[in-house]
Each structure stands twice: as C-alpha cells, then as structure tokens.
Amino acid sequence: MRSPRPDRRDRGVSPVVGKALEASIVVLYVSLLGATLYGGLVPEYRTAAGAEVGDRVLSQSTQRVQQAVPPTARAVETRVRVALPATIRGRGYSIRAQNRTLVLDHPRDGVGGRARLALPAAVESVTGNWSSGEPAVVAVRGDADGLTVALESGAAE
C-alpha cells in the first residue's frame, strides 16, 4: 500500500498562505501599536508639553510687564512690545490681567495658568488682554497720582 502523498498542485499554495498570514500579523501589530500611541500616549505628551510652554509664556509675559514699569518714576508714558508664540498646543490663546495677576486662557484642559505680578505700590491698576494672534504691547502711563498698566494689542511705537 502506498503512503498518501499530497497532490503536486497543492504544494505551491502552502508558502503563499504562510506569507499572507505573516504579513497580516505584521499589519495587525503595527495597527495596534499606532492606535495605542496616537490614542493615549501622544495626546497626553502633547498636552504636558503645551502646559510647559504655557507656563514659560506666562512667566516671560510677567517679566516683561514688570520690566516695563519704572520703579520710581511717576510721570511716564511708555509702550513695550512683548513677543508671544502664535499658538500653544496648536491652538490660539489669550492672556488677561485680573487683580494684578496675568491669567493664560487656553481652549484645551491642562494648558493655562496664573502668575502674580510684582509691581511697585505706585501702580494703581493693571487692565487689558492679549490675543496670541496679534502683536502684544505693555502700555504704562503715569502722572503725579500714580501709574496704570494696560495690556494692549498693536505695534509698539
């Protein structure tokens, strides 16, 4: 009795099926890896990096406002340009003055913050806001009564 032998026509199919299964496993692995990274890890990293950039922008903005205010002068009128990045975490943002504090408002949760201004007692008020899409200027005006600080949009003179 003869041992059963596979038909010679069937032998060519086996390597093709094996390679197709190997290729589909690789595609499945790459798809799962991509979904894991872009679904969880990458957005969290981008938000953390955006929060760090937001903190730096707020810190530098606070420094520029404080530097624009003269420590002893009263009769003054000055305008100082402040460089702001156009976006943080891919979106526009704003910085506003509130009770001698700068507040960064951003549409994404986790990006934003507050920074207290260290200003001389002669400063009576800090008002205004900046939008990231426009030039930012610190305007300081003063007379014998005291100084006012305003965050304005526009070019420095």
Question: What DSSP line would sit under 59-117, residue for residue?
Answer: HHHHHHHHHHS-SS--S-EEEEEE---S-BTTB--EEEE-SSEEEEE-SSTT--EEEE-
pLDDT for the residue 141: 93
pLDDT for the residue 149: 94
Residue position matching structure tokens 């979904």: 35
Q: Considering the entire predicted model, what is its pTM? A: 0.70
Q: What CA–CA distance (Å, rounded) separates 80 from 68?
A: 6
pLDDT for the residue 2: 57
pLDDT for the residue 8: 61
> CA end-to-end span of the chain, whole Å?
105
